[in-house]
């Protein structure tokens, strides 16, 4: 953690008796994990298979850290403590190295929570309802509700009209939002674009909901011309919709106003639909983008969720989920054991996460986030332009910092830069910690590698179907 106490290996001798790294300690215990081997088909290994196949479960046990019992005299010699200190020191070094090559996932790694280290000695648990104090006194509800009030102001809903909580991740926010929709409309049908996060479809399976997948435009945005006939085909049942405020792969923003208009034109009154807005990454960025459509509870939406470990930047996964107070009563139940009310997905909840969110929101404020958003968008445009200049197909949605481009041929390169891939495309998510220097480093390496991947008759793939002809610079679309 940036700003935290640095882990240092102890001196070679402990109490003058034991040397560090002795016995069965493996000096190379912390290494970058190798790519799993590819299983060839019919004994023939094709280049495309070598660069695409993923074999699960092949590379973890070879590098896992075995737990061993302390020696009888360990309290005297301190061998075990010295061994573990060495392992942790190497692990920290590995984390620092891997952080240098982090581009494909939407995590802001630019944070410093050293001031909160003093609170790591406490088991802080926000079990139950954030607004009802339970018998368990070691909690952080006062921080949690402060964070929720901040987001309520951002999404324009009064304090006495909303309910929410700090989730363990963005997926939990989606699970909760869709669950509330299902409880409000038990016979409702869930509609979600094909490019929605996988957790949306997981929710449909978990809750045994009928789910209709809606086509998307080439940008990744929901295609309301396809949504319309699918709504009309089920006019007799309420509609529960997932609206993406930034899709996972392309960073596309569904037009909330057009979705609402489509519902109304199909005969769905406001009391016959529920909209959950999945704003995992961009839900916190969009309010600070000029001319961007607004996510607001002044519109007929039911819930909004964002991730806390993404744009905000937290050392552990977390998120924020807010819904209308009128809806939460259909989901909640009193629990005597807690002396509180249960309305969340999980039972025990991380009480440290609200502290990290509260700390950052106070330090940055609206102006600080606006500055970070402008930096990300500016650097994302820089990356897209440089890719095009290098003859590499790339796309950047207007409201996004997610740059989509052709999938690198070599999976070693993908692994090195921790790129997220889907089919023929990959993406870089430009976050506040991603500098121009880092992008240049990545680009120079990518261009150099491509010169060896594509020689002679081997050509880069055409990805016009994924990003549109205007963004594809393959041999057919130059």
Q: Which of 225, 400, 401, 451 is catalytic?
A: 400
Q: How far is CA 251 from CA 81, 446, 447, 468, in A?
A: 46, 22, 24, 15
The backbone torsions φ and ψ at residue 230, rounded to the nearest 5 degrees and listed phi first, read -75, -35
Are 280 and 197 within 8 A, CB to CB? yes
Report the candidate in 245, 249, 252, 369 with the shortest Cα–Cα distance to residue 311: 369
Backbone torsions φ then ψ of 306, nearest 5 degrees: -135, 160
Contact status, residue 234 vs residue 189, Cβ threshold 8 Å: yes
Q: Bin 418: left if φ > 0, else alpha if -120 < ψ < 50, else beta.
A: left
Are 175 and 242 within 8 A, CB to CB? no
CA distance 416 to 424: 18
- Alpha-carbon distance 385 to 61, whole Å? 42
Distances in whole angstroms, Cα of residue 116 to Cα of each of 2, 124, 314, 352, 356:
12, 13, 12, 9, 8
> Is residue 400 annotated as part of the catalytic site, yes or no?
yes
Distance CA 79, CA 18 (A): 6
Q: Which amino acids are annotated catalytic?
A: 400
């Amino acid at each position: 953690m940036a700003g935290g106490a640095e882990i240092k290996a102890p001196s070679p001798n402990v109490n003058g008796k034991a040397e560090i790294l002795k016995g069965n300690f493996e000096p190379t215990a912390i290494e970058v994990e190798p790519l799993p081997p590819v299983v060839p088909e019919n004994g023939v290994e094709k280049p495309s298979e070598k660069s695409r196949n993923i074999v699960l479960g092949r590379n973890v046990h070879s590098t896992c850290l075995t737990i061993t019992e302390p020696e009888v005299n360990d309290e005297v010699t301190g061998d075990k403590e010295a061994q573990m200190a060495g392992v942790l020191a190497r692990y920290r070094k590995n984390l620092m190295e891997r952080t240098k090559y982090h581009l494909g996932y939407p995590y802001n790694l630019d944070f410093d929570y050293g001031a909160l280290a003093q609170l790591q000695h406490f088991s802080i648990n926000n079990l139950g309802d954030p607004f009802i104090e339970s018998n368990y006194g070691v909690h952080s509800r006062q921080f949690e509700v402060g964070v929720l009030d901040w987001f309520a102001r951002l999404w324009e809903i009064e304090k006495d009209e909303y309910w929410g909580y700090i989730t363990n991740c963005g997926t939990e926010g989606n699970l909760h939002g869709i669950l509330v929709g299902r409880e409000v409309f038990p016979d409702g049908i869930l509609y979600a674009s094909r490019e929605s996060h996988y957790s949306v479809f997981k929710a449909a399976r978990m809750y045994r909901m009928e789910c209709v997948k809606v086509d998307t435009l080439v940008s990744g945005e929901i295609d309301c011309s396809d949504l319309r006939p699918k709504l009309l085909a089920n006019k007799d049942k309420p509609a529960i919709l997932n609206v993406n405020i930034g899709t996972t792969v392309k960073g596309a923003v569904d037009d909330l106003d057009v979705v609402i208009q489509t519902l109304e034109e199909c005969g769905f009154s406001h009391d016959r639909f529920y909209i959950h807005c999945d704003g995992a990454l961009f839900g916190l960025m969009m309010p600070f983008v000029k001319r961007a459509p607004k996510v607001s509870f002044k519109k007929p939406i039911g819930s909004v969720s964002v991730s806390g470990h993404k744009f905000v930047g937290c050392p552990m996964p977390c998120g924020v989920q807010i819904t209308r107070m009128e809806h939460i009563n259909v989901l909640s139940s009193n629990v005597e054991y807690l002396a509180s009310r249960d309305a969340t997905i999980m039972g025990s909840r991380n009480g440290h996460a609200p502290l990290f969110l509260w700390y950052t929101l106070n330090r940055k404020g609206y102006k600080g986030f606006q500055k970070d958003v402008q930096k990300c968008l500016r650097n994302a445009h820089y990356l897209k332009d440089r890719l095009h200049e290098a003859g590499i197909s790339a796309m950047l949605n207007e409201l996004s910092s997610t740059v989509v481009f052709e999938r690198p041929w070599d999976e070693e390169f993908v692994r090195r830069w921790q790129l997220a891939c889907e089919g023929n495309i990959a993406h870089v998510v430009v976050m506040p910690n991603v500098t121009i220097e880092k992008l240049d480093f990545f680009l120079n390496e990518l261009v150099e590698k491509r010169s060896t991947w594509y020689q002679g008759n081997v050509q880069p793939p055409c990805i016009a179907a994924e990003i549109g002809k205007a963004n594809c610079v393959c041999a057919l679309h130059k």
